[in-house]
Structure 1
Amino acid sequence: METIDAIIIAIVEGLTEFLPISSTAHMKFTNPLLGVEQTPFGEMFEVVIQLAAILAVVVLYWKKFFDFKRINFYIKLIIAVIPALAFGYMLKSHIDAALGNLTFIAWVMILGGVVLLFVDRWFNKPEIFSEENISPKTSFIVGCFQVLSIIFPGLSRSAATIIGGMTQKLSRSAAAEFSFFLAVPTMLAASAKSFWDTYQDHPEVIARDNMMTLLIGSLVAFVVALLAIKFFIGFLKKYGFRVWGIYRIIVGLIMLLLIWRGIIS
């Protein structure tokens, strides 16, 4: 992977990680458009830069993450991340196969977009407006929704968890913020596992040049994500999900067209 390719992919990741449009889908389709082949390092790169982007949450919400007196906050995150860890381990072969199927990802993009067209209408009477009022039970339910994004790559982790929160009467902004918080332990675990698996199966990948590329990509994803988070929260409060649903449908159809014409495969 060339440095310029890593920077472009990292920008795509940083822009899309917190939006309900699936950063995974965008990276999976950006790679072939750039002519980047899927390699063990490339697969690890895509996971680790997601963690780098998500660390932007820790910076923006550092008071919450490092207020060790609020033990309930950490307990809720642990409860919420358990379903993803369990199903991610049990369904690894399915997940790997789905991640390699661009047609499947494109259809998930489209169908997920259709759902987003109606979410604001379905869940328009919130009762919970801050993380402090989220119960452990609600945390677990949101964590179960996160599993859907693992089973169906292209669904979007943020979309699944935000919608999960809204089904439990969280406001759009409260659901989005809790989705951001939940992303930290989720992607920390996923990145650690991806790095370790790559080191065990392909130790030659952990080379100096590759690690420099990974570092550059991570820094770019982190900086871009800092800007994207603030934009998304403001946009979500004002406009809701419909515009993202339309975007997903259009992009999904473009993906299917590119696959059909053999431009990407």
Structure 2
Amino acid sequence: MHGHGRSSCPLPENASGLALFLDIDGTLLDIAQTPEAVVVPPDLPTVLKRLADRLDGALALITGRSIGTVDDLFGLPATAVSGLHGAEWRGADGRTATIATTEAFELARSYMRQQTADMPGVIFEDKGAAIAAHYRLAPERETQVRELMAAIAGPVADGWELQEGKQVVELRPRGRDKGDALASFMREAPFRGRRPVAIGDDVTDETMFAAANRLEGLSVRVGIDGRQSLARGRMRAPSDVRGWLARISA
């Protein structure tokens, strides 16, 4: 192993023996002004597919997006995915699991959609079993968005909880996180027995870093903003992540 010029941690020189767990937004893809505006570099799906094949399928995307959206972005329906921060799951063998919504959650979703329609710059994102309000384009509405989301979270607190991220507040299924997703994958083939490498950029990825650390793996945070993290290594930007993935897939 050796250090790479754009990373503060030693990165494996090849993929042998690894199990890769990759966040998407801010990790594989550059952050965009809205969730729909992200750009997938043309060669990235090919790199991910080649790498998954090299790892006998031990590559999983662990994201706050829904599995359906992930498939729309990358066109890799055979790839293992944990969506909605662990609430949706697709194994390397194609088996899937998801969370059912409730009437109370549907009411919360409808109310938040209506409220954000009258808030210019605030983007409402419907993820199925989760909803999110992004205020990246209207940072002055942060307090308003947080108060609204806190208000709708109360009636569904038995099954959903608030999660804050980079200029976004999300109402997501309770009791599931990215760390649980990583641990679940690591208990099953083809991940079992490999060394986990978890790469993410946001506070929602911290549980994934913790899980990788517990399993004596490698945890890497993308970004150089100085925020404290459980990750034991750093990479500067998604372009550096993509470059490393391309090298170990070659």
TM-score (norm 1): 0.30
Larger relative CO (CA 8 A, sep 6+): 1 or 2?
Answer: 1
Which structure has more strand as a fraction of its residues? Answer: 2
TM-score (norm 2): 0.31
